[in-house]
Amino acid sequence: MGVIVQKYGGTSIATPTLIKSVANRIVATRQAGHEVVVVVSAMGGHTDELVGLSREISPNPSPRELDMLMTAGERISMALLCMALIDRGFDAVSFTGSQAGIVTDAAHGKARILDIKATRIRASLESNKIAVVAGFQGVAPTSSDVTTLGRGGSDTTAVALAASLKADACEIYTDVDGIYTADPRRVATARKLSRVNYEEMLELAASGAKVLHVRAVEFARNYQVPVHVRSSFSQEQGTWVVQEDKSVEQAIIRGVAHDASEAKITLQRVPNRPSMAAKIFRALSDATINIDMIVQNVSSAGSTDVSFTVPESDLVQAESVISDVCREIDAPGYDVDPNIAKISIIGAGMKTHPGTAATMFEALGDKGINIEMISTSNIRISCIIASKDLDAALNAVHDQFALGTLGDTSLASGETLSEVSEGQLSRPSQDPASKKADKRGE
Amino acid sequence: MGVIVQKYGGTSIATPTLIKSVANRIVATRQAGHEVVVVVSAMGGHTDELVGLSREISPNPSPRELDMLMTAGERISMALLCMALIDRGFDAVSFTGSQAGIVTDAAHGKARILDIKATRIRASLESNKIAVVAGFQGVAPTSSDVTTLGRGGSDTTAVALAASLKADACEIYTDVDGIYTADPRRVATARKLSRVNYEEMLELAASGAKVLHVRAVEFARNYQVPVHVRSSFSQEQGTWVVQEDKSVEQAIIRGVAHDASEAKITLQRVPNRPSMAAKIFRALSDATINIDMIVQNVSSAGSTDVSFTVPESDLVQAESVISDVCREIDAPGYDVDPNIAKISIIGAGMKTHPGTAATMFEALGDKGINIEMISTSNIRISCIIASKDLDAALNAVHDQFALGTLGDTSLASGETLSEVSEGQLSRPSQDPASKKADKRGE
């Protein structure tokens, strides 16, 4: 049997008791005949503790030293997990990001994996050891400094290792039991999906589904790594994130995602001259503010309103940039609305189903919910609404597409997953008809 | 000006506030024109926390993984200290043991430093940075694994780095303000020494003075590193540990040390045959029990009593070994006494002053204190007494030698310390007359 990579998040290993129960699960996988590589996060709460310490020292800590600090977290959890495995009679060995050969660029706090030199991990598997690897961290060869991949980076470590080791699967253990058609805390009829394809998962993650990190999904898609998102607190199957299976009919809509953490800024009566948009968004980009949606409507009076959304955490800084820009481009002013939410529907099937957007807008309209902004990709439609309407909107859209009752395409028991092929960088081939420009009835 | 190595222990950096105050002290040293290399322990209490976590996981944790776990401690403190220094406008960079080039053998938990490849530290000093190094840790090149030097190992890291960098001095900052003629909590008239030589400090450390780690003193002696033990909570001069100055008359006795953490075991009527002692102490050594003092008196009836002391923490295991040995060698049984204490007087001057031991025994006898065991080196005399008599014994001996009033040899202000010479492995030359066998009046 082949290699299984298992990733355990902070809540799954928050206490010594939980660490011992995770050890039992790893042992069971090993006893089923698999070679096991484990990726761990810091123990739940510990990362926040370390961030708290750094804030007591400095309002703006050195990025290199912040990375040095943060990487203490996985060091603790991985050593404890190895102790528990060795206690159960299984040889186990822990590796820091550097020891595991996770080579990154030198961007502290948000480093990108450039290469994985898994020599030591392979050697430990060959000598029948369980390899336990620190998630979230790497080493930048240019400086020999320790780097981190940013929050959620442990998912990326796990998927990247699975790709490099040509693992049969990458299991992401977390505190929820899979990907749902909507957030079950807000939509009572939400249903767990047994299967999602990479493109859909990318859009779900980017639209606010927090279960899996966007960069991890990109890695999984690029290297065709089958990912299994499941709970560390039960034995149930979770959700498989895999390549689209052309032979099975696609669901039109796979799920509804939401994000209530953004704010909307509208610049009023921006003069209708070339390069106005460039000026606005270059200034925001120079201040490293992430923009999500942008909407601009041409108005008749020689000027236009430009709206965009930013994370609420960047709002203060964005306002300061925008008030400068307004003076520069002769716009009379701007409005800010922090009380907004984004609701998105995602599904590969909408590429071939015109009218999907209209159906969504009708569902919202029927409940008297006003749509403030609209944005689309080829498999996603997002609307900005007032945050007070979010729960009503989620339930209305979820019902309208009958997501709580529709069967989704399940993996038949024993079905073989497509094999992982390292270095296969091509994206899954797309239906040439399914371009962003195709009609959806808007 | 040259390099100063400063080592800060756990109590000196136990909180963010203390870390910031240590940063101020480092900045002051830097502003006085020195290049500064800082060695830090884990924040006070954190090491115990990590040990506690490991015990919750396993009664007998893997030594490799225990080292991986423990080294998280200095990672946190050194990153926080660098952040504080950078905040004060001084460029600082942290180094793990491995990054600092601290090469050790592979004995996890008690590794010995084999070499220091301080390339990165030298480069950081050359580019005007303050180097902050994790104490207590290294890397074993045979396995590329992380090692620790054992508790107190940060002192050794600091002194070894000072030797390698040919530093002007190694400052050991701690929560006491120097080396005293006796423990000031037990002897009211105890006096801070301004100067102690390496040999005396070695015996003081080995006899229970906890301020400096024995291995660090050995390193300082072997490489002639001037060590300054002082408090991180005051600006006062502490105690210099330096090479013996032949030109200055030596004090007969430098100080009185004690150790109340041992227990005494006596084997009764051991048959007077060859290799009995070898059998006893080989068995204890095989069980890795540390023996301190051993006393054997020849008795007339063809048998003898053999007594020795062990750390109280090893007592249970030692008893189990000894009851087996008694059966094997036909000894009728053994006594255990945990209520003992060791009192030692130390001074290079006693080599040339016969009668020092007699003076010590008289001081104890005058107070009616019974001496249970005696052991000596060429500059130390130790007695085992009942632990209830310890305070009375310390004060009696301290008074008898007038340690509270005698002037000790102080460093004149501005006096140049002997230069550190890397690679100079020879011990300071000893007076050929001062062998262990010389008469002291016992």
Position B442 pLDDT exceeds 60: no
B145 or B354, higher pLDDT: B145
End-to-end CA distance of chain B: 50
Pairwise CA distance, residues B399 & B385, whole Å = 18
Average pLDDT over residues B333-352: 89
**Which is nearest to A1 in space by CA: A91, A96, A125?**
A125
Least confident of A425-429, B391-395, B430-434: A425-429
Pairwise CA distance, residues B95 & B39, whole Å = 10
Contact by Cβ (8 Å): B227, B220: yes
A237 or A430, higher pLDDT: A237
Phi (first) and psi of residue B233, to 5 degrees: -105, 0
Contact by Cβ (8 Å): B87, A58: yes
Structure confidence at residue B356 as a pLDDT band (50, 70, 90): confident
Average pLDDT over residues A110-128: 94
Position B187 pLDDT exceeds 90: yes
- Tokens 């810091």 belong to residue: A42
Give the pLDDT of residue B406: 58
Position A427 pLDDT exceeds 80: no
Structure confidence at residue B350 as a pLDDT band (50, 70, 90): confident
Give the pairing of strands A195-197 and A239-242: parallel
Average pLDDT over residues A153-158: 95
Average pLDDT over residues B373-394: 90
Edge-to-edge strand list for the sheet holding A294-297: A294-297, A303-311, A262-271, A333-337
Position A264 pLDDT exceeds 90: yes
Considering chain B, what percentage of its residues have pLDDT values greater than 90? 60
Pairwise CA distance, residues B394 & B403, whole Å = 11
Give the pLDDT of residue A257: 94
End-to-end CA distance of chain A: 50
Distance to chain B for A108, nearest Cα, Å? 14
A442 or A129, higher pLDDT: A129
**Which is nearest to B54 in space by CA: B79, B71, B31?**
B71
Distance to chain A for B13, nearest Cα, Å? 12
Give the pLDDT of residue B248: 55
Edge-to-edge strand list for the sheet holding A169-174: A92-95, A130-134, A35-40, A3-8, A169-174, A227-231, A239-242, A195-197
Position A314 pLDDT exceeds 50: yes
| Mean predicted lDDT score pLDDT of chain B | 86
Q: pLDDT tens digit string along A358-386?
A: 889 999 989 999 888 888 888 889 999 99
Q: Helix and strand tally (H, E) in chain B?
A: 12, 20
Average pLDDT over residues A221-234: 94
Handedness of CA A194, A199, A204, A209 (dihedral sign): positive
**Which is nearest to A92 in space by CA: A17, A29, A15, A165?**
A29
**Which is nearest to A225 in space by CA: A412, A414, A419?**
A419
Distance to chain A for B351, nearest Cα, Å? 50
Decide if B76 and A50 are in contact by the 8 Å CB cutoff: yes
Q: Which of B26, B38, B69 to mutate to test the interface with A (most CBs of A within 10 A)?
A: B69
Say yes or no: B50 contacts chain A, CB-CB below 8 A: yes
Average pLDDT over residues B157-175: 95
Say yes or no: B123 contacts chain A, CB-CB below 8 A: no
Phi (first) and psi of residue A340, to 5 degrees: -125, 165
Q: pLDDT tens digit string along B34-69?
A: 999 999 999 999 999 999 999 999 999 999 999 999
Say yes or no: B99 contacts chain A, CB-CB below 8 A: yes
Pairwise CA distance, residues A111 & A16, whole Å = 30
What are the E-state strand segments in B135-244?
Answer: 137-140, 145-148, 169-174, 195-197, 227-231, 239-242
Q: B88: nearest CA in chain A?
A: A58
Pairwise CA distance, residues A396 & B124, whole Å = 61
Contacts of B16 in chain A (CB under 8 A): 53, 56-57
Edge-to-edge strand list for the sheet holding B340-346: B255-259, B340-346, B380-386, B373-377
At residue B98, what is the residue type? S
Structure confidence at residue A411 as a pLDDT band (50, 70, 90): very low
Q: How many CB atoms lie within 10 A of CB A232?
A: 21
Cα distances (Å, whole numbers) of residue A47 to A10, B8, B40, B76: 9, 25, 21, 12
| Mean predicted lDDT score pLDDT of chain A | 86
Cα distances (Å, whole numbers) of residue B149 to A269, B117, B134, B174, B210: 69, 17, 12, 19, 17
Contacts of A99 in chain B (CB under 8 A): 144
Contacts of B88 in chain A (CB under 8 A): none
Decide if B84 and A58 are in contact by the 8 Å CB cutoff: yes
Structure confidence at residue B415 as a pLDDT band (50, 70, 90): very low
Contact by Cβ (8 Å): A95, A120: yes
Rg of chain A taking only CA atoms, in angstroms: 23
Question: Is the confidence metric ipTM above 0.85 for this complex?
Answer: no
Give the pairing of strands B35-40 and B130-134: parallel
Give the pLDDT of residue B17: 96
